[in-house]
């Protein structure tokens, strides 16, 4: 299984290393007969074909009426501030009790995953609580839409109208900084979009039904698609990695944490360091551990 996951990751990495350029006058021959693609995604779709995806597949993906451009996604990514998030809500007693009930309702599954990977069940349920409220919130739009919308939003002039007022009157230096950030995020989103397509294909999932966070994370465990390829585990042995299934989601999460250094009797600083690989935020990591402790005490 690990060898299989490694092979998938290498495939993903190969695609991710391909150049990402969406020229307005890109040769459109492979998609010439494909109708229904929003013009904003036309060059993006052509780049996917150039990077090795079949034109028929790309056409089927982007000509689907569920695919829509959201101009507000990239601006939210640019102005996102981790410190503004209020993690204290996850320490409310009603949420802790709900997490405890969720853990108890799947105690055999949590125990099996803990036995396999060594990650405490309370830590896993805490991450599920913070990430998706135990599956209650998996995103309001398709991961495809969010990633594709970011991938094509590399031009400051095209997203300027959707930025907060404080971002609309910038010095030349600040504008250049934002432009560089947009270009970097666009390339990142394009790489994740390719990983999402690969993930959906490998696991027989309908890409037009995969909900995602505003930034494209998917499943109960909120993995970016590249991590779904690299760390995803088919724990229930049904032949696919489905991160919306509790068994696969919990095992994939545990696999990720184990890879980044979680081990028996790891000290608290070490726990925080490992969890920060999941989300690069100290407040996030501390909240996860606080939730885990409160769940343990019930």
- Would you state the pLDDT for residue 82? 54
- Would you state the pLDDT for residue 85? 65
What is the rounded radius of gyration, in angstroms, for the C-alpha atoms of the chain? 20
Angle in degrees, CA 194, 3, 225, rounded to 5:
25
Q: Where along the chain do its domains lie?
A: 66-298
- Would you state the pLDDT for residue 27? 46
Interaxial angle between packed helices 39-50 and 55-62, expressed in degrees from 0 to 180 and rounded to the nearest 10 = 150
Residues 234 and 1: beta-carbon distance below 8 Å: yes
Core vs surface per residue 93-131: b (16+ CB within 10 A) or e = eebbebbbebbeebeebbebbbeebebbbbbbbbbbbbb
Task: Enumerate the β-bridge partners of residue 211.
Answer: 142
- Would you state the pLDDT for residue 80? 65
Burial of 85 (0-12, 13-18, 19+ CB in 10 A): middle
Give the DSSP H or E segment for 211. Answer: strand 211-212
**Distance of alpha carbon 182 from alpha carbon 170, whole angstroms:** 15
Cα→Cα distances 121→107, 118, 230, 250, 275, Å: 9, 9, 22, 9, 14
- Would you state the pLDDT for residue 3? 44
DSSP category for residue 218? B
Helix ranges (DSSP H) in the chain = 2-16, 39-50, 55-62, 73-79, 93-105, 107-117, 121-132, 143-151, 156-159, 172-202, 225-231, 246-259, 268-278, 282-297
DSSP category for residue 42? H
pLDDT tens for the chain, residues 1 to 298: 544 444 445 444 444 444 444 544 444 567 888 888 999 999 999 999 999 999 999 999 999 999 999 988 888 887 765 554 689 999 999 999 999 999 999 999 999 999 999 999 999 999 999 999 999 999 999 999 999 999 999 988 888 888 888 776 788 898 898 899 999 999 999 999 999 999 999 999 999 999 999 999 999 999 999 999 999 999 999 999 999 999 999 999 999 999 999 999 999 999 999 999 999 999 999 999 999 999 999 9
**Distance of alpha carbon 261 from alpha carbon 39, whole angstroms:** 45
**Distance of alpha carbon 80 from alpha carbon 74, whole angstroms:** 10
Residue 159's contacts (CB-CB under 8 Å, 6 or more residues apart) are: 71, 74, 75, 78, 153, 182
Angle in degrees, CA 125, 143, 119, rounded to 5:
20
- Would you state the pLDDT for residue 13? 47
Task: Enumerate the β-bridge partners of residue 141.
Answer: 212
Structural tokens at position 157: 């002039």
């Amino acid at each position: 299984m690990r060898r299989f996951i490694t092979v998938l990751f290498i495939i993903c990495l190969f695609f991710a290393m391909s150049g990402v350029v969406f020229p307005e006058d890109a040769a459109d021959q492979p998609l010439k007969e494909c109708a229904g693609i929003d013009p904003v995604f036309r060059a993006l779709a052509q780049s996917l074909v150039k990077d090795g995806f079949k034109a028929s597949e790309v056409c089927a993906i982007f000509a689907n009426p569920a695919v829509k451009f959201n101009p507000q996604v990239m601006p939210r990514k640019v102005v996102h501030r981790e410190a503004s998030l209020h993690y204290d809500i996850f320490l409310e007693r009603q949420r802790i009790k709900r997490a405890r009930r969720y853990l108890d309702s799947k105690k055999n599954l949590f125990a099996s995953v803990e036995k396999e990977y060594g990650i405490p069940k309370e830590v896993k349920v805490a991450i599920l609580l913070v990430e998706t409220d135990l599956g209650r919130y998996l995103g309001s739009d398709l991961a495809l839409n969010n990633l594709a919308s970011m991938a094509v939003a590399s031009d400051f002039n095209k997203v300027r109208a959707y930025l907060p007022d404080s971002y609309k009157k910038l010095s030349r230096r600040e504008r250049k900084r934002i432009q560089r950030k947009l270009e970097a995020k666009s390339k990142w989103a394009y790489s994740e979009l390719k990983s999402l397509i690969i993930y959906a294909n490998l696991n027989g999932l309908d890409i037009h039904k995969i909900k995602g966070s505003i930034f494209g994370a998917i499943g109960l465990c909120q993995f970016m698609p590249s991590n779904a390829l690299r760390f995803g585990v088919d724990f229930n042995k049904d032949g696919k990695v489905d991160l919306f299934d509790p068994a696969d989601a919990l095992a994939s999460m545990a696999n990720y944490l184990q890879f980044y250094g979680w081990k028996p009797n790891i000290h608290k600083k070490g726990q925080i360091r490992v969890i920060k690989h999941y989300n690069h935020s100290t407040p996030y990591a501390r909240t996860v551990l606080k939730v885990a402790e409160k769940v343990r005490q019930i």
